[in-house]
């Protein structure tokens, strides 16, 4: 404890100053972002385009209110709304993602406006589809007297309608031929569907709409992170002070327990000795035996205070992870584990609304059908494939053939859907096809049967008994845990290169100033994300772009529940170390270490070497980081066995930043203090999102 006290005094001097410097840079970045927002508000005001400023919640509420007062929407109005609303939604998504720079009330208001705008846009799509179907002759193109179609591409939306117009009924034939199934193809969406024979193809209406924006998933109960990290923004000095106080408090309690124990022992010994003195002529064998036991007695075994508190912190994080788990129903897609990518495909069987009838004198009559909304055609068939026979039961070829015919007969009642997967996404494994259950607000695969995935052509085919909205779900963390990572200065610019190798692909980013650029993706199966190469984005925007492309390298705090082989670390320590790495990133090359995964909850192990002198490359050493200290280890990455023994002659350093101030070369220290806050905070934010130490 004396040594712990001495180290705590060093922390009060060095670590507190380091944390103050880190806070100063964070505040400068927030002030810079606020200044940018004020300038953007002024530019929006000068633009005077009649549109609201998404930064001003009152303007957005007025815009939404006026939109709700006039809900009528045709396809031209829908085009205008898409052009207006999608950039606003993108800005609002960015505000919600960067909620730390706003007050709690502001962040909540932005989120409420964002959700309301999404709902209003979804309503507009439905109303526009209804308006188009209300007058087929005016809005649709007639390929024949019986068939009409509509096709249009909006911003972020493709809409197709196919209508078989109901013709006058004829006298039935004595023997009616079997109806032909309706087969439809929508090339603009790369989707095809074959309807079952049970659906009357002579008067059917099919709507196919692909929205690039997922307007459904967010209302699912498994979408959002249940709880945020309790100490997400706590600095390392405050964390150590709390632990130090708790350690001494626990030590005091343990000392009191031991003092009380020895006091009781002394009283019992004195009592026995007095008894034996009062009875000198008896043997007192029982008393002597009890006295020997008391003299040999030890206090109850109490764990080391610091170790106990460390274990409690680890248990608290395990409890947090457990609280973040979401129970799902059978067939339900857990959106904490999966993500709907490539938008949402609506394949709807609809009832054609009553059409206008032309009368004399340019008068039209239309039957009024309430409510004025799309009416789905009744079609729902639930089929579950038969379970395999029990182990050891053999079936005859006749039984197998009979069962196959039965399955094929059931399949004939289901719609067959073909989808070409978009090339804009990174496909590393077969996706999950699911459908939206509006009543329960969840994605389910219960109605998906006979699923087939062609990896070479990137197509999926399946049968379904309902035509509900279709989503293609991908495993969010299919590239994790990381296979390796590297952070080093960029020799061609004043930036820093971050390279992360996942299970399937390797991604390289370049952090320069206030932005991050996607440089390269190796081993990708599609040309996804190429249009974003070398374009500057904020870290949050880069995160959104890569998640939408099914290339998620940015785990949430509950990702340990869904990734095998992760190695969770004490977050306050990990976050502080990322900030120190960001400061040192132009002077050092950091790499992953194979010893990190097994190092424990409160230990980070990585490789480090100076990278100031480009002509002379130094060797990698092992950096050892805990919440209490940072040091260089005696062993290295190539050692046969791991040892936490520090290098000879090193003093006590509270963290990586202070270690560099004494251990680093003059050039390394100079490069550290020449770092600008924009670059430091960009790298820091990127490392926080990647969480390299917890997943490699």
Model confidence pLDDT, tens digit, residues 377-390: 888 888 877 777 77
Q: What is the largest CA-CA distance in the chain?
A: 137
pLDDT for residue 656 is more than 80: yes
* Residue predicted with more confidence, 59 or 276: 59
Write down the residue that tokens 């006290």 correspond to.
5
pLDDT for residue 581 is more than 80: yes
Structure tokens at 209: 């709409």
Q: How would residue 409 be classed by pLDDT, with cut points 50, 70 and 90? A: confident
Determine if residue 549 is left, alpha or beta; phi over 0 gives left, psi from -120 to 50 gives alpha, anything else beta: alpha
Q: Report the chain's C-alpha Rg in angstroms.
A: 34
pLDDT at res. 622: 96
Is the link from the previous residue into 371 a cis peptide, with omega within 30 of 0?
yes
pLDDT at res. 464: 93
pLDDT at res. 143: 86
Are 549 and 426 spatial neighbours (Cβ–Cβ below 8 Å)? yes
Q: Over range 506-519, report the average pLDDT.
A: 96
Question: Tens digit of pLDDT for each residue in 27-80?
Answer: 999 999 999 989 988 888 888 888 899 999 999 999 999 999 988 899 999 999
Q: What percent of the chain has pLDDT over 90?
A: 67
Q: How would residue 338 be classed by pLDDT, with cut points 50, 70 and 90? A: very high
3-state secondary structure of 253: helix
Determine if residue 649 is left, alpha or beta; phi over 0 gives left, psi from -120 to 50 gives alpha, anything else beta: left
Nearest one of 609, 590, 540 to 693, comparing CA atoms: 590
* Residue predicted with more confidence, 241 or 295: 241
Backbone angles phi, psi at 209, to 5 degrees: -135, 125
Backbone angles phi, psi at 524, to 5 degrees: -75, 145
Pairing of strands 459-464, 375-376: unpaired
* Residue predicted with more confidence, 631 or 276: 631
CA distance 278 to 281: 9
3-state secondary structure of 7: helix
Q: How would residue 203 be classed by pLDDT, with cut points 50, 70 and 90? A: confident
Task: Indicate the range of 184-198, 391-405, 428-442 predicted with least confidence.
Answer: 391-405
Instruction: Supply the angle between the helices 236-278 and 571-584 in degrees, to the nearest 10.
Output: 140
Are 95 and 110 spatial neighbours (Cβ–Cβ below 8 Å)? yes
Q: What percent of the chain has pLDDT over 70?
A: 100
Q: Count of CB atoms within 10 A of residue 249's CB? A: 12
Instruction: Supply the angle between the helices 2-10 and 236-278 in degrees, to the nearest 10.
Output: 160
Instruction: Supply the angle between the helices 16-47 and 236-278 in degrees, to the nearest 10.
Output: 140
Tell me the H-state helices in 279-396: 285-296, 305-323
pLDDT for residue 649 is more than 90: no
Question: Tens digit of pLDDT for each residue in 667-695?
Answer: 999 999 999 999 999 999 999 999 999 99
- Neighbour-count burial of 459, counting CB atoms closer than 10 A to its CB (0-12 exposed, 13-18 middle, 19+ buried): middle
For residue 184, give Cα distances in angstroms to 140, 150, 155, 195.
17, 13, 24, 8
pLDDT at res. 284: 78
Are 471 and 332 spatial neighbours (Cβ–Cβ below 8 Å)? no
pLDDT for residue 416 is more than 80: yes
Q: Over range 234-250, report the average pLDDT.
A: 94
pLDDT at res. 281: 73
pLDDT at res. 410: 85
Average pLDDT, the chain: 91
pLDDT for residue 408 is more than 90: no
pLDDT at res. 534: 95
Q: How would residue 392 be classed by pLDDT, with cut points 50, 70 and 90? A: confident
């Amino acid at each position: 404890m004396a040594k712990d006290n001495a180290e705590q005094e060093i922390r009060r001097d060095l670590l507190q100053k380091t944390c103050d410097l880190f806070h100063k840079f964070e505040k400068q970045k927030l002030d810079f972002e606020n200044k940018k927002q004020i300038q953007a508000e002024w530019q929006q005001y000068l633009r005077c385009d009649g549109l609201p400023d998404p930064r001003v919640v009152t303007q957005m509420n007025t815009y939404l209110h006026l939109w709700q007062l006039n809900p009528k929407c045709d396809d031209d109005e829908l085009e205008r709304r898409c052009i207006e609303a999608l950039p606003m939604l993108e800005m609002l998504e960015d505000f919600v993602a960067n909620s730390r720079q706003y007050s709690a009330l502001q962040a909540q208001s932005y989120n409420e406006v964002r959700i309301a705008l999404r709902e209003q846009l979804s309503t507009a799509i439905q109303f526009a589809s209804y308006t188009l179907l209300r007058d087929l002759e005016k809005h649709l193109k007639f390929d024949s007297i019986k068939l009409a179609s509509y096709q249009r591409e909006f911003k972020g939306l493709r809409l197709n309608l196919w209508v078989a117009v109901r013709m006058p009924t004829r006298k039935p034939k004595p023997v009616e031929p079997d109806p032909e199934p309706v087969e439809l193809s929508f090339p603009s969406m790369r989707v095809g569907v074959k309807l079952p024979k049970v659906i009357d193809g002579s008067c059917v209406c099919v709507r196919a709409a692909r929205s690039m924006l997922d307007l459904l998933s967010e209302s699912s109960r498994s979408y959002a992170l249940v709880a945020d990290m309790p100490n997400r923004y706590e600095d390392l000095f405050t964390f150590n002070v709390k632990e130090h106080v708790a350690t001494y408090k626990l030590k005091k309690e343990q000392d009191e327990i031991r003092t009380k124990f020895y006091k009781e022992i002394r009283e019992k010994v004195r009592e026995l000795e007095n008894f034996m003195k009062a009875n000198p002529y008896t043997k007192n064998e029982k008393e002597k035996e009890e006295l020997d036991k008391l003299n040999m007695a030890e206090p109850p075994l109490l764990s080391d205070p610091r170790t106990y508190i460390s274990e409690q912190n680890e248990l608290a994080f395990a409890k947090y992870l457990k609280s973040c788990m979401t129970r799902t129903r059978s067939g339900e897609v857990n959106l904490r584990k999966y993500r709907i990518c490539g938008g949402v495909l609506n394949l709807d069987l609809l009832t054609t609304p009553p059409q206008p009838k032309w009368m004399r004198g340019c008068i039209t009559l239309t039957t009024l059908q309430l409510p004025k909304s799309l009416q789905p055609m009744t079609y729902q068939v639930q089929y579950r494939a038969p379970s395999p026979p029990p182990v050891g039961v053999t079936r005859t070829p006749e039984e197998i053939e009979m069962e196959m015919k039965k399955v094929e007969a059931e399949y004939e009642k289901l719609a067959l859907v073909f989808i070409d997967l978009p090339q804009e996404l990174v496909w590393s494994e077969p996706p999950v096809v699911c459908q939206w259950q509006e009543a329960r607000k969840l994605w389910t695969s219960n109605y998906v049967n006979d699923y087939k995935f062609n990896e070479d052509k990137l197509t999926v085919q399946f049968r379904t008994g309902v035509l509900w909205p279709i989503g293609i779900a991908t495993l969010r963390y299919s590239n994790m845990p990381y296979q390796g990572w590297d952070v080093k200065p960029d020799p061609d610019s004043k930036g820093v290169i971050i390279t992360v190798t996942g299970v399937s692909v390797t991604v390289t980013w370049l952090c320069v100033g206030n932005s991050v650029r996607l440089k390269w993706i190796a081993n990708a199966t599609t040309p996804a994300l190429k249009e974003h190469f070398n374009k500057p984005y904020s870290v949050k925007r880069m995160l959104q772009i890569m998640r939408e492309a099914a290339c998620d390298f940015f785990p949430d705090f509950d990702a340990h529940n869904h990734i095998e082989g992760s190695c969770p670390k004490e977050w306050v320590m990990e976050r502080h170390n990322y900030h120190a790495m960001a400061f040192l990133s132009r002077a050092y090359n950091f790499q992953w270490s194979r010893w990190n995964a097994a190092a424990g909850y409160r230990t980070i192990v990585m490789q480090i070497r100076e990278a100031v002198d480009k002509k002379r490359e130094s060797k990698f050493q092992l950096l050892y980081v805990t919440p209490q200290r940072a040091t260089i280890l005696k062993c290295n990455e190539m050692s046969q066995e791991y040892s936490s023994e520090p290098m000879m002659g090193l003093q006590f350093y509270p963290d990586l930043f202070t270690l560099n101030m004494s251990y680093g070369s003059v050039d390394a220290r100079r490069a550290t203090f020449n770092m600008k806050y924009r670059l430091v905070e960009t790298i820091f934010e990127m490392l926080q999102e990647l969480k390299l130490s917890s997943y490699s």
